[in-house]
Structure 1
Amino acid sequence: MDCNEARPLLDAATDRELSAAEALRLEQHVATCASCRREAQALQAVSQATRVAPYFNAPDALRARLVAALPAVDATDEQEGHASAASDSQPAPVSPRPPSVEPPRPETVPERPPERAFDSIGKVGKFGKFWPGWRTPRGAPTGGGGPAALGRPVAIVGAALAALAVTASLFLLVPRPPAPGSSLVDDLVASHVRAQLSGHDIDVVSSDQHTVKPWFNGRLDYAPPVEDLAASGFALTGGRLDYVDHRRVAVLVYRYRKHVIDVYVMPEQGDGAAPAPSASTSDGYALASWRAGGMIWWAVSDAEPAVLAQLHAALTERLQRPSAERAQ
């Protein structure tokens, strides 16, 4: 087993999804290959860190606050409303028994006019009624109304806040379309970062362009140019397949000092949608794009934008050479 066979199996080995025979072959290779051993150790570290990470439950105080913020419905008022509606629609029955006397409600507080009720809100605090633990001491002055006077206006405010919270949560949960022109850039940066974090950034490990280029045959519907730019300071380390902009594309992996540069190569569509030569940054990563050799090239790296400009110049100069000279 070589590195090209071992790399795709490291993830499955970490999750213990390989057969006994495959696991034995992979273990024998990892024992003799320092590069694959580092990749396997990195994957195991990520797996262990994920399994021991603490799981946080939402606190009970959050649920209590949400429930308290909802406007409460007085059951007594609701029953009285149904009774009054029934009495208006039907004549009162004649009963030989004397009418029952309704017992007085304990500690009934007369309701104040609405304009004075809003004054009370300003004195005791706008949202006092809706936070658990707020109570007015019995017999304490309430500014001429107390909690009973605050019922209706504060309930209205609470209902408005609850509706606003629901609207805001829906706005955050519903995905918004990306800004025009940013979708491809976001896909490229996400692909580069995902490859670095997973440790599976290379499918075919080789510094020989004559090994990397044939590897793409049968895996893509086009043949990407592969050039070794080690003489210019950009060493070819391999290539991989990725899915960007709703299609499979070839990715050439170069190294410049300690920086990894992913070069995405895709054919021109002839619709004018390909970018003109440009350089930009996104989320702290440098990007460069250009056209050459009938292909669209995108370079993504954490190196300086000037480094990508050097790569662009070296690759363009290489592609302009005759085919016989490039093959050497």
Structure 2
Amino acid sequence: MTCDEAEILLQALIDGELDAGHARDVENHVEGCPHCAAMLKDYREMSKAMADDGVRYTAPPALRARIEAALPQPRQLQSRRAVLRGFAMGSAVSALAATGLVAIVLRHDDMERIQSEVVSAHLRSLQAGHLTDVISTDQHTVKPWFNGRLDVSPPVIDLTAQGFTLIGGRLDYVDARAIGAVVYRRRQHVINLFVSQTASTEHRPARIETIQGFNIRHWSDRGLNYWAVSDLAKDELADFGERFESSMRSGTAG
């Protein structure tokens, strides 16, 4: 483990958010790295100080009023509802509504919030016992497990031969909706592939961004949104996404 990787996970270690394997890796690195050991000590002292009631700050009413004034007003919210009603008039979305499916319509100004929630879901998964609901390296075991638990079951692809080991799947929640997460591992790095339904069937090319020290590769295809999240380097995460998309095009998905 490098110092850059350890620094990302130090806070999660303090908060007890890492599984046993990741916690052990960080602790082993800290034992042999004076720089990270000092940083961990500083973080722990800071957390202890912040827990003291004497340093807590209560926001004044004026600040609350300013924040509320900056939030979307009822007219803006009504406008969003009108947009959603307009989508509902289309035959495709009407068919979804008739079968009880819910389409996630993402606006550009929602993207940053959604990606932050995806990173939070990734961090939650690193807690002990939270990574998988079904453990299997067999795509034909993981794929059927989602059936009946989600309206649209995410595609599951075995990329073990390409260096990305399928280890299972689970249900998670993003934007207050149930979402499927297919879990892979690259060496000691976890990759969560979150999959949700979208109203659009057009293909949107992949983009990679970094949020809170984690890389996110996001793309859309065939009515599904994909977010691959990991602390892997961007080039390796891009390689994972390209191999996944290539397998989807060749029809090898489970």
Asked whether the two chains share a fold, i.e. TM above 0.5, the reply is: yes
Look up the match of 1:312.
241
1:234 equivalent among 136, 152, 164: 164
1:319 maps to a residue whose letter is M
Look up the match of 1:263.
193
1:56 equivalent among 52, 61, 77: 52
When structure 1 is superposed on structure 2, of 193-202 and 234-243 the one drifting more is 193-202
1:228 maps to a residue whose letter is D
Contact 1:293 1:319 (C-alpha < 8 Å) held by counterparts: no
Distance 1:171 1:199, change over 3 A: farther
1:287 equivalent among 216, 220, 223: 216
Contact 2:201 2:224 (C-alpha < 8 Å) held by counterparts: no
2:165 maps to a residue whose letter is A
The answer to whether structure 1 residue 213 and structure 2 residue 143 are counterparts is yes
Shift of 1:168: 6.6
Shift of 1:235: 0.2
Look up the match of 1:187.
117
1:292 maps to a residue whose letter is D
Distance 1:223 1:271, change over 3 A: closer
Q: Distance in 2 between matches of 1:200 and 1:175?
A: 38
Shift of 1:321: 1.8
Shift of 1:174: 6.5
Greater length-normalized contact order (CA 8 Å, ≥ 6 residues apart) = 2
The answer to whether structure 1 residue 166 and structure 2 residue 38 are counterparts is no
Q: What SS is found at the alignment partner of 2:54?
A: coil
Shift of 1:275: 5.7
Q: TM-score, normalised by structure 1?
A: 0.46
Q: Distance in 1 between matches of 2:204 and 2:243?
A: 20
Q: Distance in 2 between matches of 1:227 and 1:271?
A: 20
Q: How many residues align?
A: 174
Distance 1:276 1:172, change over 3 A: farther
Q: Gaps spanning 5+ residues in structure 2: where? A: 1-18, 25-47, 73-107
- Bigger Cα Rg: 1
When structure 1 is superposed on structure 2, of 182-191 and 196-205 the one drifting more is 196-205
1:6-35: per-residue Cα shift (whole Å, max 9, x none)? xxxxxxxxxxxxxxxxxxxxxxxxxxxxxx
Q: What SS is found at the alignment partner of 1:280?
A: strand
Q: What SS is found at the alignment partner of 2:250?
A: coil
Distance 1:209 1:284, change over 3 A: same
Shift of 1:176: 6.8
Q: Gaps spanning 5+ residues in structure 1: where? A: 1-36, 43-52, 63-164
Shift of 1:260: 0.3
Q: What SS is found at the alignment partner of 1:197?
A: coil
Q: Distance in 2 between matches of 1:277 and 1:208?
A: 26
Q: Percent identity?
A: 36
Contact 1:240 1:250 (C-alpha < 8 Å) held by counterparts: yes
Larger strand share, 1 or 2:
2
Q: Distance in 1 between matches of 2:184 and 2:237?
A: 11
The answer to whether structure 1 residue 251 and structure 2 residue 181 are counterparts is yes
Shift of 1:318: 1.0
Q: Distance in 2 between matches of 1:196 and 1:175?
A: 37
Contact 2:154 2:195 (C-alpha < 8 Å) held by counterparts: yes
Shift of 1:171: 6.8
Q: TM-score, normalised by structure 2?
A: 0.58
